[in-house]
């Protein structure tokens, strides 16, 4: 794998992935709306050894704030890049989410689920899609705009603001370091085996939101009436990633120090 196209390459995971690929001697090209280069304009996937599709409106809040943009970015653009990759049988890694197994919970979850369905359909033909379901990502660099729990808490703490926990805080999530995400993507790009099952990329361990707040060592409060609590718990399974990708996480949440 010498030349990779990365959609959403200027996002949180994308920028960390670019740094990681540099260490592997892999060249890459970025497609990102921030530089006015849209996924729907891509028609030259034959030029690349592989594609990583990260471009998305991330998280329930941002998707609900602009559903039309989310539908174009998360659904229309995803179907387009998968079709283009399939034309030339190019391997494509699709960044799905642990929310995808419950598509009726939110438009965000539905949009990721649709991408998974299309990836599986195309794999019946010339598709070489690898669907990775990322759990809740933290750490690394470029996290300032990431809308997931730990980066949001980090920003509020840096601004001297009180942390707000939606619901009771008992809901649990699997938190995985972005360095491990980059490793999993690289392994998926370089595997010859194609499997249509979504592969969870997670640690296999869950931590409640209020436990995360306590680790931040600052004040927090609860919003029991919040409508963005999400599911109470998430299903985490690591064996498929081990069997298919030879992937196991290396970073440990307990070792992640936050001032």
Return d(Cα 236, Cα 200) in angstroms, integer.
7
What pLDDT sits at residue 230? Answer: 61
Domain count, the chain: 1
Res 228 pLDDT > 70: no
Q: Is residue 72 part of a domain?
A: yes
Q: Are strands 172-173 and 128-134 parallel, antiparallel or unpaired?
A: unpaired
pLDDT (tens digit, 9 = 90+) per residue, 36-93?
889 999 999 999 999 999 999 988 888 999 999 999 999 999 999 999 999 999 999 9
Looking at per-residue confidence, does 50 or 232 come out higher? 50
CATH number at residue 60: 3.40.50.720
125 vs 28, 87, 92, 120, 133, CA distance in Å? 27, 10, 14, 10, 22
| Predicted confidence band of residue 168 (pLDDT cuts 50, 70, 90) | confident
Q: How do residues 190-203 score in pLDDT, each as one tens digit?
A: 998 888 899 999 99
pTM of this structure: 0.92
- Write down the pLDDT at residue 37: 84
Query: Is 219 within a domain?
Result: no
Residue 53's H or E segment, with its range, is strand 50-53
Domain of 26 in residue numbering reads as 3-142+176-204+235-250
Residue 257 confidence (pLDDT) above 70: no
Between 259 and 224, residue with greater pLDDT: 224
What pLDDT was estimated at residue 61? 83
Give a yes or no: residue 134 inside a domain.
yes
Is residue 214 assigned to a domain?
Answer: no
Q: Is residue 94 part of a domain?
A: yes
Residue 158 maps to a domain: no
Residue 216 covered by a domain = no
Q: Give the lowest-confidence range in 18-27, 189-198, 231-240.
A: 231-240
pLDDT at 231: 59
209 pLDDT more than 70: yes
Q: Give 163 or 49, the one with higher predicted confidence.
A: 49
Radius of gyration of the chain (CA): 18
Q: What is the arithmetic mean of pLDDT over 98-120?
A: 94
Q: What pLDDT score does 158 carry?
A: 84
Determine the length of the chain.
Answer: 259
User: With pLDDT > 90 as the criterion, what percentage of the chain qualifies?
Assistant: 64
Question: Looking at the domain assignment, is residue 150 inside a domain?
Answer: no
CA-based nearest residue to 156, from 225, 212, 234, 99: 212
């Amino acid at each position: 794998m010498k030349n990779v196209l990365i959609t959403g390459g200027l996002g949180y995971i994308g920028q960390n992935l670019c740094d990681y690929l540099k260490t592997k001697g892999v060249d890459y090209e970025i497609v990102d709306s921030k530089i006015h280069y849209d996924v729907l304009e891509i028609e030259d996937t034959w030029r690349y050894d592989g594609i990583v599709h990260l471009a998305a409106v991330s998280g329930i809040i941002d998707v609900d704030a602009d559903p039309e943009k989310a539908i174009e970015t998360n659904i229309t653009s995803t179907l387009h890049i998968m079709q283009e990759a399939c034309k030339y049988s190019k391997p494509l890694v699709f960044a799905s989410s642990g929310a995808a197994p419950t598509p009726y919970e939110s438009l965000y979850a539905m949009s990721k689920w649709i991408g998974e369905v299309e990836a599986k359909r195309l794999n019946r033909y010339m598709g070489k899609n690898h669907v990775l379901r990322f759990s809740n990502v933290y750490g690394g660099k470029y996290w300032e705009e990431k809308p997931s729990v730990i980066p949001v808490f980090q920003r509020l703490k840096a601004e001297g603001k009180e942390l707000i926990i939606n619901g009771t805080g008992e809901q649990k999530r699997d938190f995985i370091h972005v360095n491990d995400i980059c490793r999993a993507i690289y392994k998926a790009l370089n595997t010859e085996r194609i499997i249509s099952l979504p592969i969870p990329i997670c640690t296999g361990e869950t931590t409640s939101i209020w436990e995360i707040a306590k680790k931040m060592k600052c004040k927090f409060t609860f919003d029991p009436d919040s409508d963005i609590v999400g599911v109470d718990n998430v299903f985490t399974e690591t064996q498929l990633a081990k069997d298919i990708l030879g992937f196991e996480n290396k970073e440990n949440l307990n070792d992640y120090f936050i001032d």
